[in-house]
Amino acid sequence: MRCLRFWRAVPVERWQAYGLVLFLACLVALSMPKSGSAENLPPLKIVAFGTSLTARGGWQPALQAQLAACLQRPVEVDSVAKSGETTLWAMTEVDRVVAGLPDIVLIELYANDATLHRFVSLAQSRKNIGQILDTLRQRLPRARIIVMAMNPFSGMRGLIRPFVGSYISAHREEAEKRGLEFIDHRPNWERLTSDDLAAAIPDGAHPQPEIASKIIVPELVERIAGRKCGE
């Protein structure tokens, strides 16, 4: 009863002031980011692990920007990659991948194993990628590991890789045997006309970065996000 008498005694003008203060407080509360919002999450860390198709790829900045926009959270994409190298080199670089503490590892390591002059047999390549995947799974148990097939080869770059399809299949089988993900970008490249494909990959192996971004990145964003952006 005392409380009721108190509130009845409050002048109308003071009620109006209280209402204004409450309204402003609500505006401030609504403008503050929620603690669980995507913007406040730590960056999603991705390491791209591969050959010149990664080292010279140029698609990483587009992946970082488009995935961040899709997920509405920061994304960092780093690379551990070297032109001309094989899975033999990659086995010595796993520590660098692990050191980045990535949430996702993107892997393409078949291209140079498949060249005739590197002398990495199909059996050796299969063994090497299996060991790399096992080590990454052991040391990064929470990371998503995604093995990829990249663009097609042509011209002399294709001639020195007559069995590249077998190497891709071996890497895919080793990934799937371990319950890991595999993305094959080749069908998206093959939708281009022969003239457009030749212009996109003028040396027969290394796509123009802007074209690589258009072909590779949407597929990666959809797979990583689990949906098409905007859905």
The per-residue pLDDT for range 156-213, each reduced to its tens digit, is: 999 999 999 999 999 999 999 999 999 999 999 999 999 999 999 999 999 999 999 9
| Paired tokens of 34 | 């929620």
Q: How confident is the model at residue 230 (pLDDT cuts 50, 70, 90)?
A: low
Please tell me the distance from the alpha carbon of residue 104 to that of residue 127, in angstroms, as a whole number.
22
The per-residue pLDDT for range 93-148, each reduced to its tens digit, is: 999 999 999 999 999 999 999 999 999 999 999 999 999 999 999 999 999 999 99
Please tell me the distance from the alpha carbon of residue 94 to that of residue 88, in angstroms, as a whole number.
11
String of DSSP letters for 172-219: HHHHHHTT-EEEE-HHHHHTS-HHHHHHHSTTSSS--HHHHHHHHHHH
The per-residue pLDDT for range 31-87, each reduced to its tens digit, is: 444 444 556 789 999 999 999 999 999 999 999 999 999 999 999 999 999 999 999
pTM (2 d.p.): 0.83
**pLDDT for the residue 228:** 86
The beta strands (E) that lie in 83-204 are given as 104-108, 144-149, 181-184
- The amino acid at residue 112 is N
Q: Looking up tokens 């194993």, which residue turns up?
A: 113
**pLDDT for the residue 229:** 81
**pLDDT for the residue 231:** 56
Mean pLDDT of the chain: 89
Distances, alpha carbon 54 to alpha carbons 49, 83, 173, in Å:
7, 8, 21
| Paired tokens of 33 | 């980011």
Distances, alpha carbon 77 to alpha carbons 11, 44, 66, in Å:
61, 8, 11
Residues 64 and 48: beta-carbon distance below 8 Å: no
Q: Is the pLDDT of residue 2 over 60?
A: no
